[in-house]
Amino acid sequence: INCGKQIAIDTKFCTHCGASQIKAEEPITANTKPCINCGKQIAIDTKFCTHCGASQIKAEEPITANTKPCIICGKQIEIDTKFCAHCGASQIKAEEPITANTKPCINCGKQIEIEFKFCRHCGASQIETEEQFTVNTKPCINCGEQIELDTEFCPHCGVKQIPTIDM
């Protein structure tokens, strides 16, 4: 989409320039918001993007000893506040239901949707890296997915790779 070079059709990020290959045709609903990093629609209460893993808490918000992030929108609120002043969400955490469409995060154990690549609670990658290595592939330095040796940007997570040195 960005540089015009040929890449595999199912690639999420360009292996040459790192640009996202996902078109912005996703439906916007009252329960979703765009990721602050990749722009894909995610659940409004998500703390980490389920597509790129980016934290959804903006760094410019001042954090003090008397504040904490809202459990829904992530904005800083007073510690003893029962409802967020920014989004109105209750700050009382309820147990998350276990359904056929959820699984526990491999890092924190909280329930997440089965198809998520990153946990929306702790940001941990849900991709297990037990794939077989081949001579022409290497693991991504960020997500561990197998990628071709000459790939500049991981097609799974978009992170720029360290060039391999030929001996």
List pLDDT tens digits, range 99-152.
778 888 777 777 888 888 888 877 888 876 554 455 678 888 877 788 888 888
pLDDT in tens, 19-73: 777 665 556 667 888 888 777 888 888 888 888 888 887 665 566 778 888 777 7
pTM: 0.28
Q: Which helix (H) or strand (E) holds 102?
A: strand 102-104
Burial class (CB in 10 A: 0-12, 13-18, 19+), 24: exposed
pLDDT value for 131: 47
Q: What three-state secondary structure class fits 33?
A: strand
